[in-house]
Amino acid sequence: MTQDRKDSLLNRDWSSVWDSLPEAPEIVSRPKVAQITMRIPTRLLARMKGVSAAKSLPYHALARSWIIEALRSSAPPINSVSADEPQAEQLNIKLDNDTLDQLKERADELRRPYHRLAREWIEAALTREEESLGIDPAPAGRPKLKDLMVLLLHASDQRGEDAVRGMTRLQKLLFVIEQKLAADHSRFYAYNYGPFNEEVNDAAQALKLQGLLQGPEAVTASRPTFAEMMASAMARSGPREDSTTAEDFALSDRGHEAAERLRRSNRAYEELFAYVRELRQEWDTPDLVDRVYETWPTMAEKSLIKDEVESRRARRRKQ
């Protein structure tokens, strides 16, 4: 285009045809799909996965459908029951741009952040789904075993030591803590050596792989050997330990830092840590197993060492 042509176009009066001009294309074309990222409580994510498994649908797809449904029905906001819980998990949901624009417009009308509105709609829909499927959500505020383990190992016993000697003792201490917190919703059951929950083994392994427990931190990509798989299966079944084979469970420096962040993330966790520390001072004693068997006899019914424990208790009574 010549300079004269440019000047003529710039100097022309376009007012008479302005409204008939076509819409200008976007300088940078928008992608077809956008992503909304939000922080949600761990318990809320666990509930979503429970409904997802029951419906055989990905939980991301369910969350997206719940947001779209709420937009179509002009659903009002709700008071989230999990608002005071630590927002420890990240949820990424893909939406088309029109849906995301509608979400932002609706949030602007309600004068609240659109991430918060989406989270509230998801929680409301999740509650309805649980009711229709007959799913009992986890008790409000119940911490994960992994969190309880971190807080337990961040505390110390009567001797000032924070390490726990052996999986059997770790199982029993976490059982005591859970019983004191929510006896009606225990995740433990009677097994070979008293109260047991294989999730404790899994949580310990997860913390170790994250470098939060002392010991190997590297995660290998190679397939486990048959011997390693058998050892893992035996560990999950609660094998008996002696003083020579028992493993010490203790937080690494990173683990103690993570425990401090957890306890300070929320007032409830600060209070929980104080209570866990108090329980460890009271229960982490040489006669822990005997006291557990005596306090919760139903948990000792299947124990392979029930008679041995009873004999020890009888000898103490005679002393």
Tens digits of residue pLDDT in 121-163: 999 999 899 888 887 665 555 678 889 999 999 999 889 999 9
Residue 233, domain member (yes or no) = yes
Q: pLDDT tier at 28 (50, 70, 90 boundaries)? A: low
Residue 227, domain member (yes or no) = yes
CA 300-304-308 angle, to 5 degrees, is: 85
The chain-wide mean pLDDT, for the chain, equals 81
Listed residues 133, 159, 189: the one ending a domain: 133
At 62 the pLDDT is 93
At 274 the pLDDT is 92
Tens digit of each residue's pLDDT (9 = 90 or more) over 29-82: 666 778 888 888 777 887 888 888 888 889 999 999 999 999 998 767 666 655
Model confidence at 230: pLDDT above 50:
no
Query: In terms of domains, do 70 and 117 share one?
Result: yes
- When mean pLDDT is compared across 20-24, 166-170, 175-179, the lowest value belongs to 20-24
Query: In terms of domains, do 244 and 276 share one?
Result: yes
At 218 the pLDDT is 38
Model confidence at 276: pLDDT above 90:
yes
Pairing, β 248-249 against β 164-165: antiparallel
Number of domains in the chain: 2
Residue 15, domain member (yes or no) = no
Query: Whole domain around residue 102: which residue ranges?
Result: 33-133
Query: In terms of domains, do 48 and 92 share one?
Result: yes
Residue 2, domain member (yes or no) = no
Residue 5, domain member (yes or no) = no
Query: In terms of domains, do 151 and 114 share one?
Result: no
Q: Residue holding tokens 């927002």?
A: 87
Query: In terms of domains, do 303 and 174 share one?
Result: yes
Listed residues 75, 110, 133: the one ending a domain: 133
Model confidence at 20: pLDDT above 70:
yes
Q: What value does the mean pLDDT take over residues 95-122?
A: 90
Query: In terms of domains, do 291 and 155 share one?
Result: yes
Residue 20, domain member (yes or no) = no
Query: In terms of domains, do 170 and 281 share one?
Result: yes
Beta bridge partners of 96: 33
Q: pLDDT tier at 220 (50, 70, 90 boundaries)? A: very low
At 82 the pLDDT is 59
Residue 225, domain member (yes or no) = yes
At 65 the pLDDT is 94
Query: In terms of domains, do 166 and 307 share one?
Result: yes
At 47 the pLDDT is 82
Residue 226, domain member (yes or no) = yes
Pairing, β 89-96 against β 164-165: unpaired
Listed residues 68, 100, 133: the one ending a domain: 133
